[in-house]
Structure 1
């Protein structure tokens, strides 16, 4: 795939994820209803949703196969720029592929929320309007949709003067001049438990990239969750980027 087209696909990947979630939600919910209840019949919406899922799958395959020129790499004589692909790679791949399941979850959350909204608009709300659990359920729809949309962006990207870190809820930007050093850090405590739940692997050891800033503060970038070799490689790329175009040459000379 040409680098320019991949960059456009990456920029619009949240929309791709939402399309996958919508098509997956329709396909799975309709399939469940048709097979479990005789009142529901097979309709054209099922094959249409299936066709959209195939197109979504092709888009995901292209998204997860980026051209090397779009990635930040250790290149002699150049300051790296592009997506740091090794950061958050496992989490990104798993969750981008899970968009149809997220669509099923969104459908299950949306149904009672829409009923609640209809009752409020009609001016004759039932007692369920006052049910805190139902209100909380409705409040889950937007966060789940937002997280699903941001799955493909998970990770970090280097630009000429910015390190951009994209998590599931927000994006953080750090100027090159603000960063003193970067290194790998083993995740412990509650964060380790949460990552173990997300990856369904409580015995795994998780690493993230940690930055020391000029303000004296330390920032842990959970959107960089990866293996230690991946984090170490990413840290070298960021260090090269911080030092400028000549850093890789100096590093190569020092190693020789």
Structure 2
């Protein structure tokens, strides 16, 4: 089992042990925010935004608003972890810790996007049936409409998956491994296999892809050099150059502490 640090007085808004539980359950928490946000937005549009058709106000609207408010409070806590859960530049921690500067720039944006992604999830299934002509008022258009509908659906699915992983996004250090939780997948690297850790600028194609997906300029990240000669990029570490350099220092100190012990 991984050792957890105990919280200190003034450490954070909640004890470190509870924060770690929320962190592990964060995909489920993001899903709750997504569902509550989708219900609230869709029902609000129908009740107050659609003319000529009367949609009744129901108990589901205040329930969704209350759930979304509770979700917002939990999400805010996830974005302010206790200091005892964070890795430091001196590499002194022997327990699991988060490298908070890595991924910092996009963490808030992806978390707060959860309610809007609920609306996107509700709308995502509709383009394909429309392209197939299931709507009698709209003629089928397989050659143009179907590829476009599939592309929109895949993009929506990717964005929803990204937001579900929003609070997990970043780099975690354990006594034996570096865990990089990227936008879509998680990778693990053994501590003793790392030869060097560097802040680098992304090549044009991953930078362009992530810039289009996140609607933000994505330029810098962390690169590892491993004993087998491979040099993986940690897309989980995307942030401003200053944050990435600080993150690189933290990971180097963690790696050096292993050599000292």
Same fold (TM over 0.5): yes
Number of equivalenced pairs: 239
1:88–1:226 contact (8 Å) kept in structure 2: yes
Q: Gapped runs of 5+ residues in structure 1?
A: 120-126, 249-256
The counterpart of 1:190, out of the listed 175, 185, 205, is 205
Counterparts of residues 129-208 of structure 1 (less than 5 Å): 132-133=146-147, 134=149, 142-202=157-217, 206-208=219-221
| 105-114 vs 33-42, greater mean Cα deviation | 105-114
The counterpart of 2:104, out of the listed 85, 89, 92, is 89
Per the alignment, residue 114 of structure 2 pairs with 99
**CA distance in 1 between partners of 2:81 and 2:52 (Å):** 45
Task: Say if 2:16 is the partner of 1:36.
Answer: no
**CA distance in 1 between partners of 2:219 and 2:57 (Å):** 45
Task: Say if 2:254 is the partner of 1:216.
Answer: no
Q: Gapped runs of 5+ residues in structure 2?
A: 1-13
Per the alignment, residue 4 of structure 2 pairs with none
2:183–2:235 contact (8 Å) kept in structure 1: no
**CA distance in 2 between partners of 1:63 and 1:148 (Å):** 14
What is the deviation of 1:48? Answer: 1.1
**CA distance in 2 between partners of 1:113 and 1:52 (Å):** 31
Higher helix share: 1
What TM-score, normalized to structure 1? 0.82
1:74–1:80 contact (8 Å) kept in structure 2: no
**CA distance in 2 between partners of 1:211 and 1:64 (Å):** 26
The counterpart of 2:243, out of the listed 230, 233, 238, is 230
2:192–2:258 contact (8 Å) kept in structure 1: no
Per the alignment, residue 9 of structure 1 pairs with 22
How big is the alpha-carbon RMSD for the aligned residues of Structure 1 and Structure 2? 2.8
**CA distance in 2 between partners of 1:142 and 1:78 (Å):** 38
